[in-house]
Every structure is written in C-alpha cells, then in structure tokens.
Amino acid sequence: MLAFYSGDEKTTFGQRAQAYLKATEAVATRYPNDDEAQIAYAITLNVTAPPESLTDRETDRRHVRFLANI
C-alpha cells in the first residue's frame, strides 16, 4: 500500500497504480509459493490493465499461466 500512497499531489492515479503493480509483482516473485501474494498480483494485473490490452491475447495467456500456478 505504501507504493500506492507514496508521491505527492502531482502523482496521478495511473502512476500510483503502476507503482502498486510493480510492488505486488516483486512480492509475488519473491514468494512464489505464497498463494495470497500470487492472487494479489493477479488481481492487480487485471485492474491495472489498460483498456486496449483487454483483448490482447498475450496478456490473456500471461494471466491464465499466472493463475494456473496458484
């Protein structure tokens, strides 16, 4: 959560969301057997995906592979 709320009043929501995504990715990478870390990262991937990537097959495959390992 610190990654999301760090910054000043000029930090945009998108910048905060991307910082949070990077932080959850780091936790998921550091703890590959922690289901909650993997789920938090997967959810963050979904909610931070830009609208144009919602139909991107590579993004879909990455999410499916990720969730399959949980």
pLDDT digits (tens, 9 = 90+) for 16-69: 888 889 999 999 999 999 999 999 998 898 888 776 665 666 666 776 676 776
Q: Assign 52 to helix, strand or coil.
A: helix
| Predicted pLDDT of residue 1 | 58
Residue with tokens 């000043």: 8
Q: What is the pTM of this model?
A: 0.64
Residue 8 has pLDDT above 90, yes or no: no
Higher pLDDT pick, 69 / 4: 69
32 vs 2, which has greater pLDDT?
32
| DSSP-H helix ranges across the chain | 2-5, 13-30, 35-48, 57-68
